Amino acid sequence: MQREKPRRRGIYLDHSATTPVRPEVLEAMLPFLREHHGNAGSLHRFGRNCRRAVETAREQVAALINAEPRDILFTSGGTESNNLAIMGIVEASDRTAKRMVTTAVEHHAVLHAGESLAHTNRVDLRIVGVDQDGLVDPDAVEAFLGDETALVSVMHANNETGVIQPIERIGVLCQEQGVPFHSDTVQSVGKLSLDVRKMPLDLAAISGHKLYGPKGIGALFVRSGTGIKPQAVGGAQERGRRAGTENVAGIVGLGCACELLHEELLSASKRMEVLRDRLHEGILAAIPNAGINGSTARRLPNILNVAFGGLDGERMMFALDQEGIAVSTGSACTAGSLDPSHVLLAMGQSHEHASSAIRFSLGRNNTEEEIDRVISLLPGLVKQFLEKPD
């Protein structure tokens, strides 16, 4: 009887969609899924035990971005954090005419929130474009600042290209005009060093499952003195800013993940950067028609977005999946859509070019051997598609 060949271990290069939960995080969570079942709002011993765990996690999250613990608000994830920041600021604003300024390359959690407010005539939405490298011009943002501007929202790093926006300069411009400044930092937290005591940010979104924590948990940094209107009502949790019984196990997991990343941020980021550059150079050397999407001077250490010369990116993704390699054609939230990436289109790319893009996003456990295997496989797949375009 013929033995089955052992299956090769899969190569996961889609960490910007989600990350695996670290063993240490799972171990920290388990007691709060088993024996510590109290409501963190209860005053008895069971509740107090959970309240202490929640406040410890708040301190751990705050430490990662050098915030005051009281400025950390727990949510269900990055989408809710962004929605709460945008809608909460706009609805709390006392400006008669309310303008919201954002960019064409934001995550849909930001763009759709702004569009929803505009559709109901609650804001005058202004969307700033980007250059061919995916970078926003701070001067273009400044042109929309004024007494009627209720909010500016510009992401720190793009989830598809990894391009890092000049939020320090944009934040200073907002400060000078007294305009609240929000940034979607979901992709940058844990990869870049963020210090909100030095950065001119009023609000910043965090997502647990991008940080080797659990899904369904996130946080929003809200600088003291920044007024937001709650979007979930019915209780006094989170200092009255977000009602609902706390997800204690998820909060503990997020806190543990942040503490671990805080300890290893620089070394882990440098290691991913070395692997990303190895993949970058290997692909360009092996595939002449390949090109890199987005700025190579200002980008996250773990994201590489590659255009494969007009080939169908979705077919390439599935071909890699057959080889046990997980990648993405864009942000996970647009999976199943037949439209090319709105980010790449905003950068001036054609539909054909944008549709050929693959996002490789590395994580803390990827190895040189895995990167080399991907590089070795790609030329054969590209040749196969060129010979059989349909």
Is 152 in a helix, a strand, or coil?
strand
Residue 189 main-chain phi, psi, to 5 deg:
-60, 130
Residues 16 and 5: their CA atoms lie apart, in Å, by: 31
Residues 155 and 185: their CA atoms lie apart, in Å, by: 6
- The bridge status of strand 124-128 relative to strand 149-153 is unpaired
Q: 333 an active-site residue?
A: yes
- The bridge status of strand 72-75 relative to strand 218-222 is antiparallel
Handedness of CA 249, 251, 255, 261 (dihedral sign): positive
Q: Check 174, 256, 258, 333 and give the catalytic one.
A: 333
If residue 62 lies in a helix (H) or strand (E), which one and from where to where? helix 45-65
Do 302 and 16 touch, CB atoms closer than 8 A?
yes
Residues 265 and 274: their CA atoms lie apart, in Å, by: 14
DSSP 309: T
Dihedral in degrees, nearest 10, Cα atoms 161, 340, 331, 293: -10
Rg of the chain taking only CA atoms, in angstroms: 22
Query: Amino acid identity, residue 303?
Result: I
Dihedral in degrees, nearest 10, Cα atoms 74, 29, 189, 218: -30
Q: What Cα–Cα distance (Å) separates residue 21 from each residue in 150, 189, 215?
A: 37, 16, 9
Residue 8 is encoded by which pair of tokens?
Answer: 């090769």
DSSP string, 201-264: -SEEEEEGGGTTS-TT-EEEEE-TT-----SS-SS-TGGGTS-S---HHHHHHHHHHHHHHHHH
- Closest residue by Cα to residue 185 from 229, 227, 221, 152: 221
Residues 128 and 133: their CA atoms lie apart, in Å, by: 14
Active site residues: 333
